[in-house]
Chains A and B, each alone.
Chain A
């Protein structure tokens, strides 16, 4: 075997160049030891990508092990392109969430679009047909003169997500959008996709069978996004203009045909393994496929379809051009796959073969440009236990501050409804196709989206949640709360959670305060996952979300999928989209409040948005109380008692009642025996439900037997929201509230 050598014109590989590639001296030394020589330029690029935080999870791996990852439903947990769980009737669901924060800040339209593209490929490479997307977005301040750039980012991200998902034909059925100044220098774009397939049709990204051909399919390779996974690379800037990385450009049409062609190829019976080329492109796809199969690969880089002939092996291996896939097929059967792809107008070329050497050997123009052991590079990437300690100002942050009751609770309600944070998000949702594929029973704007599963009596429910202020004030409680709220949202529609994915967005883990936030949030999430018996089946970590030392609020976005076994059971009180949505629709229904208020305001919407303060401890998440509430909600749904349900979240009881009333413009008359401040408390494990009068008794009995505090507080009806409290009343036409709520976001985005 020839020793790999450098190619004319390539820079000299030394520890300085390695440092420019983000490798520490130890990492570079370890790489040299592993190879028994100094790496070639191409090898250095490959190692830097595989050792990057994005690919290796080197700072988070040690904490991620805290998550429970198994249950009787889990087919594939973390480590595949997407996690897979059984959802009943012979079907499985594949899903994952991933961040595209950095590219979206640089170029919002393409950054967000390619984020959607990447997550869709992660799902269909598992053999699953994507059926829904969610997007969790965090922006900085958008109002006033200072918000001009942020408004441009909001517009670009929303159009980017819409144009991509709409074209591919996958409905965006929910998500969340938040605004906070901690995102002024780093926005968050977290895209989630869910797919389904028959349980015997799952594929994995595994290269196996020595001699089997490796096919490259889809778009040609260009210079876009080189080193996207490593992010920074000063070597590039000082090299030449031509090598400067560019943000990837998405082509949703190619994605759509690649999706159809790939699923058809997978049905053909000759495909053994599939992997998309995402972050770190051909490098990560080939190395990870080989590592999973315990195999090696040989690639002839001259056979890779290129957009321009002048690409170097280094660039070919690190390009992040979009809409590309790798297939491993049975030997001699590759023609069948090539034919399917070409019928869909796609190029496919054989670029190499699987070997049993355990090494990746790459040749280019007759020379070996890389020859590296696969397994030690992929699974043996460095793992760091970074120093973690609460930041010096944490204690001060957690000091409780006085929270004055509102002089005029109605005014306070309207002020909250008029913020972009709590205002109606229709301006965003209506740029996303939410009904294509004709499965959407409940779409955007509700606690959980609900999609029927055609051909079965069941439905899938999905939601994404996190409260960054809670996480900033007390990361462990914030982590717990994110999971609790997501599971609660699913319980409002009667769905049993079957699996979780997440996207952990934090600042630099090299800062002990941030490393501590990461560890604590994960610990809180893991506690909640165990309490609710929800396995984590996939996920993504996005670190270094900071600008000039200002980190984003810790934002561990959680997305959970649940199953409603029999839709027929939950719909006895009326049309499914009414019953499962969270708005009042039937005058005369009783309104019942579940759960207990402890008067908690730390990190609440009232405190943040009206008082301009973010301090104290966030609401306590009592996992037992949550378990009891969720059980009650699911039981009530299965029994068909409920005509509606909405959990209490940001803004507390008054905001929840207002949201239920504004949904269909139907009012409510209710009374509670607490003061005006309590109307805005964000105590957890609470929900309001509506029931026909003849079902109240059943609900009360069930609640008592489960130990869930329960109170009938009023009736649905009329066109006003009337809430009597100790010492006063809120009384407003629902239409007035609606106007303020609907105008909030359009006004803010201009």
Chain B
């Protein structure tokens, strides 16, 4: 599958995603410059982690207005795959492609640590390597990952089954101590109504190789480039 990684000034996980997509999963992968207006035929678009424009305003807010974002939006609205990781997730919230917003972490400090995630959905392409209830270990590295929305919106998100990953303890239980950044409902990753746009704070690209001691993230990226995508879009039906 042709993959495109959008490079914003300040992106710093672009090379890491490239490495996994291109060298580990052996996909045709290109960098897309933020000032371009075309996705050059890429089927999977990745918005990588980093500090786009320094995140001096709100994280991801400047990047959301980059020229390429119009093309990303069209791609998403046409059912194309868009994966936002960390800063990329923040951008998806800022563009409105995913609902909600991010606050500073609960203790107001940057958090660089391995966390456990529970897979809440296994009918998305992104999760095709996982089963619902699986517990994954992945690193987080962010200062603004404290997911928030109104109670009604969160209820709606839950009802439509758009919560894909939650922070849990190693045994898969919801524990306040495992929800380090303080996200509402321990939300670590969500998708849009169509299931083709996924955003998450943890970094699957940093745990996709045996050598680094953890391959839990490989499945997510492998799912993102899996052919067919028969189950993309099944969400609307499932969610009713």
Interface residue ranges, A against B (CB under 8 Å): 159, 162-163, 166-169, 251-254, 256-257, 260, 344-345, 429-438, 440-441, 452, 454, 567, 575-578
B206: A residues at CB distance < 8 A: 435-436, 438
CB pair A252 B213 closer than 8 Å: no
Across-interface contacts of A254 in B (CB, < 8 A): 54
- Is the beta-carbon distance between A440 and B109 smaller than 8 angstroms? no
Q: For residue B20, which residues in chain A have a CB less than 8 angstroms away from its CB?
A: 438
How far apart are the CA atoms of A438 and B18 in the complex, in Å? 11
Contact A167 B51 (CB under 8 A): yes
Which of A169, A251, A345, A578 lies in contact with B12, CB distance below 8 A? A169
Interface: B112 (CB within 8 A): yes
Q: A167 — which chain B residues lie within 8 A by C-beta? A: 10, 12, 51, 54-55
Q: How far is the CA of A578 from the CA of B212 in the complex (A)?
A: 10
B141–A435 touching, CB < 8 Å: yes
Q: Chain B: residues with CB nearer than 8 A to chain A?
A: 9-10, 12-13, 15-16, 19-20, 49-51, 53-56, 109-113, 139, 141, 143, 203, 205-206, 208-213
Give the CA-CA distance A433 to B112 in the complex, in Å. 5
Q: B9 and A253: CB pair below 8 A?
A: yes
Interchain CB contact under 8 A, B9 and A576: no
The residue in chain B whose Cβ has the minimal distance to the Cβ of A455 is B23
For B51, give its contact among A166, A452, A575 (CB under 8 Å): A166
Contact (A431, B16) CB under 8 Å given A344-B9, A436-B206, A576-B211: no
A404 to chain B, nearest CB (A): 41
Task: Report A219 CB to chain B, min CB distance, Å.
Answer: 13
Structural contact, A257 and B10, CB atoms closer than 8 A:
yes
Cβ–Cβ contact B9 & A256, under 8 A: yes
Contact between A166 and B10, CB atoms less than 8 A apart: no
**Once the chains bind, are A252 and B54 in contact (CB under 8 Å)?**
yes
Residues B54 and A251 in contact, CB atoms below 8 Å apart: yes
Q: Considering the chains assembled together, what is the distance between the CA atoms of A252 and B143 in angstroms?
A: 15
Residue of B nearest to A567 (CB): B211
A-B contact pairs, 22 of them (CB 8 A): A159-B109, A166-B112, A167-B54, A167-B55, A169-B50, A252-B51, A252-B54, A253-B10, A256-B10, A430-B112, A431-B109, A431-B111, A431-B112, A436-B12, A436-B13, A437-B16, A438-B16, A438-B20, A438-B209, A440-B212, A452-B211, A576-B213
Report B-chain residues with C-beta under 8 Å of the C-beta of A441.
Answer: 211-213
Whether the pair B112, A437 counts as a contact (CB closer than 8 A) is: no
Interface-centre pick from B20, B56, B110, B205 (highest chain A CB count, 10 A): B110
Using A166-B141, A435-B139 as known contacts, list a sample of 17 further A-B pairs with CB atoms less than 8 Å apart, ordered by residue number in A: A166-B51, A166-B110, A167-B12, A167-B54, A252-B54, A253-B9, A429-B112, A430-B112, A431-B109, A433-B110, A433-B141, A436-B206, A437-B16, A438-B16, A438-B20, A440-B212, A575-B210
Question: In the complex, what distance in Å separates the CA atom of A309 from the CA atom of B195?
Answer: 54
Closest to B109 in A: A431
Give, as a whole number of angstroms, the nearest-CB distance from A259 to chain B: 10
The 3 A-B residue pairs with the shortest CB-CB distance, nearest first, are A169-B12, A253-B54, A577-B213
Contact of A163 among B15, B110, B208 (CB under 8 A): B110
Query: What B residues does A253 contact at CB under 8 A?
Result: 9-10, 51, 53-56
A253 to B55, CA, bound (A): 8
Determine how close the nearest CB of chain A comes to the CB of B217; give it in whole angstroms. 10
Report the minimal beta-carbon distance from A639 to chain B, rounded to whole angstroms.
20
Q: Which residue of A lies closest to B138 (CB)?
A: A435
**Chain A residues positioned under 8 Å from B54 (CB to CB):** 167, 251-254, 256
Which residues of chain A come closer than 8 Å to B110, judged between CB atoms? 159, 162-163, 166, 430-433
* A435-B213 CB under 8 A given contacts A167-B51, A169-B13, A256-B9: no
Determine the distance from Cα of A454 to Cα of B49 in the docked complex, in whole angstroms.
Answer: 20
Q: Given contacts A167-B51, A256-B51, A576-B211, are A438 and B10 in contact (CB under 8 A)? A: no
Answer whether A436 and B9 are a contact pair too, CB < 8 Å, given A167-B54, A253-B56, A576-B211.
no
Contact B112 A257 (CB under 8 A): no
Min CB–CB distance A125 → chain B (angstroms): 19
Neighbouring B residues of A577 by C-beta, 8 Å: 212-213
The CA-CA distance from A167 to B56 in the complex, in Å, is 11
A575 closest partner in B (C-beta): B213
**How far is A435 from B209 in the complex, measured between Cα atoms in Å?**
13
Which of A159, A169, A577 has the most CB atoms of chain B within a 10 A radius of its CB? Answer: A169
CA A435 – CA B214 in complex, angstroms?
12
Q: How far is the CB of A165 from chain B (nearest CB, A)?
A: 10
B residues within 8 A CB of A169?
Answer: 12-13, 50-51
> With the chains together, A744 CA to B234 CA distance in Å?
51
In Å, the complex CA distance between A88 and B211 comes to 20
B212 partner residues in chain A, CB cutoff 8 A = 438, 440-441, 452, 577
Nearest CB on A from B218, distance (A): 12
A454's nearest neighbour on chain B, judged by CB, is B19
Nearest B residue to A344 via CB reads: B9
CB distance from B175 to the nearest CB of A (A): 17
For B203, list chain A residues within 8 Å (CB): 435
Q: Does the CB pair B12–A168 fall under 8 Å? A: yes
CA distance in complex: A435, B109 (Å): 17
The answer for the CA separation of A163 and B53 in the assembled complex, in Å, is 14
Within 8 Å CB of B211, what residues of A? Answer: 441, 452, 567, 576
**Alpha-carbon distance A487/B24, docked complex (angstroms):** 34
A496 to chain B, nearest CB (A): 20
Which residues of A have CB within 8 Å of B210? 575
Q: Give the chain B neighbours of A159 by CB distance below 8 A.
A: 109-110
Q: Give A345 to B33 CA distance when docked, in angstroms.
A: 13
Contact across chains for A432 and B112 when beta carbons are under 8 A apart: yes
Q: What chain B residues lie within 8 Å of A435 (beta carbons)?
A: 112, 139, 141, 203, 206
Among A260, A438, A440, A575, contact of B205 (Cβ-Cβ < 8 Å): A438
- Closest A residue to B53 by beta carbon equals A253
> Is A434's CB under 8 angstroms from B56's CB?
no
CA distance A578 to B20 in the complex (A): 22
Of the listed residues A166, A168, A254, A441, the one surrounded by the most CB atoms of chain B closer than 10 A to its CB is A166
Residues of A within 8 Å of B56, CB to CB, are 253
Alpha-carbon distance A435/B202, docked complex (angstroms): 12
Q: Which residues on the A side are within 8 Å of B141 (C-beta)?
A: 166, 433, 435-436
Contact of A430 with B9 in the complex, beta carbons under 8 Å: no
Cα separation A735 to B51 with both chains bound (whole Å): 38
List residues of chain A with CB within 8 A of the CB of B112.
166, 429-435
* Minimum CB distance partner of A129 in chain B: B15
How far is the CB of B8 from the nearest CB of chain A, in Å? 10
Chain A residue contacts of B53, Cβ below 8 A:
253
Q: Which residues of A contact B213 (CB under 8 A)?
A: 441, 575-578
- What CA separation (Å) do A163 and B56 show in the bound complex? 12
A433 to B141, CA, bound (A): 6
Q: Considering the chains assembled together, what is the distance between the CA atoms of A159 and B109 in angstroms?
A: 8
Q: In whole Å, how far is A426's beta carbon from the nearest beta carbon of chain B?
A: 8
Are B12 and A430 in contact, CB atoms less than 8 angstroms apart? no
* Cross-interface CB contact of B16 among A166, A436, A578, cutoff 8 Å: A436
Chain B residues with Cβ below 8 Å from A431 are: 109-112
Closest CB-CB distance, B167 to chain A, in whole Å?
15
- Shortest distance between the CB of B87 and any CB in chain A (Å): 10
Q: Once bound together, how far apart are the Cα atoms of A163 and B112, in whole Å?
A: 12
Could you say which of B12, B53, B54, B209 has the most chain A C-beta atoms within 10 Å of its C-beta?
B12
Nearest CB in chain A: distance from B115 CB, A: 11
User: Chain A residue with minimal CB distance to B15?
Assistant: A437
Which residue on B lies nearest to A580, using beta carbons? B213
Which residues of A have CB within 8 Å of B10?
167, 253, 256-257
C-alpha gap A344/B49 in the complex (Å): 18
Most interface-central of B51, B56, B205 (chain A CB within 10 A): B51
CA distance A162 to B209 in the complex (A): 26
Interface centre among B54, B55, B56, B112 (most CB of A within 10 A): B112
Residues of B within 8 A of A432 (CB): 110, 112
CB neighbours (8 Å) of B13 from chain A are 169, 436
The smallest C-beta distance from A67 to any residue of chain B, in angstroms, reads 35
Closest approach, in angstroms, between the C-beta of A130 and any C-beta of chain B? 11
Is A430 a contact partner of B111 (Cβ separation < 8 A)? yes
CA distance A435 to B111 in the complex (A): 12
A567 to B211, CA, bound (A): 9
